[in-house]
Structure 1
Amino acid sequence: MKKHSAPQRAKAAAAKLHPANPHQQGYDMTALRATLPALTPFLQTTPAGKLSINFADPKAVKTLNQALLAHHYGLTHWDLPEGYLCPPVPGRLDYLLYLADLLQQNNQGKKPKFSKLTLLDIGCGANLIYPLLAVKTFGCQVLASDINSTALAHAQQLIDAHQLGNNIKLRQQTSDQHIFDHLLKPGEYLDVTLCNPPFHQSAADASAGSERKRQNLGLGDDAAALNFAGQAHELWCEGGELAFIRRMIEQSKAVASQVFWFSCLVSKQQHVAPLQNALQQAGVTAQHLVEMAQGNKQSRFIAWTFLTEAQQQLWRQHRWR
């Protein structure tokens, strides 16, 4: 069972965005403005003479996302309802790129035929960012789930607007206590799952987190709600991310033969060790910890599988080649 040593983790954490990430050199605001002129009013010149935006302004951040998605991925109709989380595109793409690396490592170093692969996004949200980027970057098939019907309705609008109905299918999870139950159908197989779990353990914890961000950015007293939006199910769950991921690990055993790699983001470093122990206790045959970084922000995801070597070989032969 593979785990990374402390020096390996430190080295990986010091790295920047994935080498294949087109955003690792920052944003070409001039090109983005040319693609989406609506970005122009939000641009400002930094002391270093570079164009940027006020990242504490939610309208500026959303417009930057619209420009990035239109310019780099041809997603010209992306939008987000008020009050839902606005995802950072570079970091979201990094998760997908590192998952692709994991699949390639398991395929004797050869890129699998991504058009044959199916990905499950657990908690796709109204922004649908992972499915959209996955289809545009890799051309794979995506199953996207969420418990919020309003979020799924907007996600469907994004699918329809970009004519991606043949690539992305939505499915509602009706229970906030279940992740895979009543979601996967018998005989349905997934090559990889991903998830950005709720971070906080209560509404009060989420509110305090927004307040800390407000203070760090030097914003006014009324700015927290405006700049750090998000629906309750996006921000918190009982027990926070540790409890959520532990539940995911436990419930993944029921669909162990239907998924090659399960994965989930882990925001807090101190949660890694207990989650690795939980995976061992669950009886996984392999697990990986992949460190990521975006600027000063450190992140990571864990991945695990229950498939034996023989089962993995059969899977590769029938689905990846």
Structure 2
Amino acid sequence: MSAEKNILHPRNKHRSRYDFPELIKSLPALHSFVGMNAHGGESIDFSDPIAVKMLNKALLKHFYGIETWDIPENYLCPPIPGRADYIHYMADLLANGNKGVVPKGKFIKGLDIGVGANCIYPIIGHQEYGWSFVGSDIDTGAIKAAKAIIAANSQLEKAISCRQQSNKLHIFKGIVKPGEIFDFTMCNPPFHASAAEAQSGTKRKLQNLGKHKGKDTVLNFGGQNSELWYEGGEVAFIRKMIDESTGIADQCLWFSSLVSKSANLSFIYGALRSADVAEVKTIEMAQGQKISRFVAWTFMEPAEQRSWVQGR
């Protein structure tokens, strides 16, 4: 039995180390990317974007029944264990208002801001809990790729839809329709403030993996500008999200966003106080090799939250 990754959520299917023989059974093409690491265990070269993508294909097929998944070159290839954690902790947040029971089924609806080409949150959310999703993105290529994944997997077709954000100045505006309701929103915001900062971050990541050769670095770990950076960085993006959430305060139970740096929390809490939200929760969880967290907020008082849940 492999040692458990105790920092991951108890329901996370990826608590144990990767079982490469089993993953290769699910996706034989993974075999050529697996070798022995310095510790004498099986692994892949995590600095190789093709190997990482192949691992993701195997994980999605083995654990979530996704037969066909692919993303274009230079788009963000997500670490699935950490992405699954956000889904499971969101499920716990919804359970808190539902007498401790995680609500399941298509009537629970989520909005993924920045769904990306990988469509990972809607896939895991649907396959684990049966939830339905809308995924939004400003990038045309990302929307096209996400739609292709949905179309290629019949179990996703009626559960997930994608909408392109046509105005880079907006987040919820132009995406959430009048009268439309969501039980939650989620977001992995662009956390760099510029393209140069994003490039520097990727170089550091490669150095940490021992693969930096002094050459110009390709953004293997997250390709498109809209995925990696936003003017003003993570805080500016989340502040904009908070500001726009006030306009649809009665259309969503819980708004949320990942926050990559704990130092940013005080600025985000300040924006939430200014927005006069009813309740804020900060939930810590694992994201890859580090501890991350998401901040969730609602404009509904406890009685309104109970009424929302009863109406679902």
Higher helix share: 1
User: Structure 1: how far apart are the matches of 2:74 and 2:147?
Assistant: 18
1:302 counterpart = 2:295:
yes
Quick one: which of 179, 193, 201 aligns to 1:187?
A: 179
Q: Do the aligned partners of residues 185 and 125 (structure 1) sit closer, same or farther apart at CA in structure 2, a change above 3 Å counting?
A: same
Residue 277 of structure 2 aligns to a residue whose secondary structure is: coil
Which structure is richer in relative contact order (CA contacts within 8 A, separation 6 or more)? 1
Quick one: which of 1, 21, 26 aligns to 1:30?
A: 21
Residue 262 of structure 1 aligns to a residue whose secondary structure is: strand
The correspondence of residues 8-23 of structure 1 with structure 2, limited to 5 A, is: 16-23=7-14
Quick one: which of 207, 225, 231 aligns to 2:224?
A: 231
User: Structure 1: how far apart are the matches of 2:288 and 2:104?
Assistant: 32
For residues 159-182 of structure 1, the C-alpha deviation after alignment (integer angstroms, 9 at most, x for no partner) is 100022210011111111111112
Q: Do the aligned partners of residues 283 and 130 (structure 1) sit closer, same or farther apart at CA in structure 2, a change above 3 Å counting?
A: same
The correspondence of residues 40-79 of structure 1 with structure 2, limited to 5 A, is: 40-79=31-70
Residue 227 of structure 1 aligns to a residue whose secondary structure is: coil
Instruction: Check the 8 A contact 1:55/1:61 in 2, yes or no.
Output: yes
Residue 106 of structure 2 aligns to a residue whose secondary structure is: helix
Count of residues in correspondence between the two structures: 306
Instruction: Check the 8 A contact 2:83/2:287 in 1, yes or no.
Output: no
The correspondence of residues 70-109 of structure 1 with structure 2, limited to 5 A, is: 70-109=61-100
**Where does structure 2 lack aligned partners over 5 or more consecutive residues?**
none
Q: Do the aligned partners of residues 177 and 15 (structure 1) sit closer, same or farther apart at CA in structure 2, a change above 3 Å counting?
A: farther
Which range is displaced more, 102-111 or 219-228?
A: 219-228
1:312 counterpart = 2:312:
no
Which range is displaced more, 225-234 or 172-181?
A: 225-234
- Letter aligned with residue 175 of structure 1: N
For residues 237-257 of structure 1, the C-alpha deviation after alignment (integer angstroms, 9 at most, x for no partner) is 100001100111111000000
User: Structure 2: how far apart are the matches of 1:271 and 1:95?
Assistant: 19
Equivalent residue, structure 1, for 2:265: 272
Which range is displaced more, 187-196 or 308-317?
A: 308-317
Instruction: Check the 8 A contact 1:287/1:304 in 2, yes or no.
Output: yes
Residue 40 of structure 1 aligns to a residue whose secondary structure is: helix
TM-score, normalised relative to structure 1 = 0.92
1:160 counterpart = 2:151:
yes
Instruction: Check the 8 A contact 1:16/1:294 in 2, yes or no.
Output: no
User: Structure 2: how far apart are the matches of 1:43 and 1:80?
Assistant: 20
For residues 257-310 of structure 1, the C-alpha deviation after alignment (integer angstroms, 9 at most, x for no partner) is 000000000001100121112111211100100011245311100000001223
User: Structure 2: how far apart are the matches of 1:216 and 1:152?
Assistant: 31
Instruction: Check the 8 A contact 1:15/1:292 in 2, yes or no.
Output: no
- Letter aligned with residue 135 of structure 1: H
Structure 1 runs of 4+ with >6 Å offset:
none
Which range is displaced more, 225-234 or 94-103?
A: 225-234
Q: Do the aligned partners of residues 295 and 171 (structure 1) sit closer, same or farther apart at CA in structure 2, a change above 3 Å counting?
A: closer
For residues 206-238 of structure 1, the C-alpha deviation after alignment (integer angstroms, 9 at most, x for no partner) is 111112222222222337216334101000010
Quick one: which of 200, 207, 211 aligns to 2:203?
A: 211
Instruction: Check the 8 A contact 1:210/1:228 in 2, yes or no.
Output: yes
Equivalent residue, structure 2, for 1:142: 133
Query: Structure 1 vs Structure 2: percent identity of aligned residues?
Result: 50
User: Structure 2: how far apart are the matches of 1:111 and 1:213?
Assistant: 36
User: Structure 1: how far apart are the matches of 2:93 and 2:294?
Assistant: 12
Quick one: which of 202, 213, 219 aligns to 2:194?
A: 202
1:110 Cα shift? 2.2
Q: Do the aligned partners of residues 108 and 153 (structure 1) sit closer, same or farther apart at CA in structure 2, a change above 3 Å counting?
A: same
- Letter aligned with residue 102 of structure 1: L
Equivalent residue, structure 2, for 1:9: none
User: Structure 2: how far apart are the matches of 1:76 and 1:222?
Assistant: 36
Instruction: Check the 8 A contact 1:214/1:223 in 2, yes or no.
Output: no
- Letter aligned with residue 217 of structure 2: A
Instruction: Check the 8 A contact 2:190/2:237 in 1, yes or no.
Output: yes
1:177 counterpart = 2:169:
yes
Q: Do the aligned partners of residues 47 and 83 (structure 1) sit closer, same or farther apart at CA in structure 2, a change above 3 Å counting?
A: closer
**Where does structure 1 lack aligned partners over 5 or more consecutive residues?**
1-13
Q: Do the aligned partners of residues 61 and 113 (structure 1) sit closer, same or farther apart at CA in structure 2, a change above 3 Å counting?
A: closer
User: Structure 1: how far apart are the matches of 2:286 and 2:187?
Assistant: 17
Instruction: Check the 8 A contact 2:104/2:129 in 1, yes or no.
Output: no
For residues 51-109 of structure 1, the C-alpha deviation after alignment (integer angstroms, 9 at most, x for no partner) is 11111111111100000001111111001100101001100000000000000011121
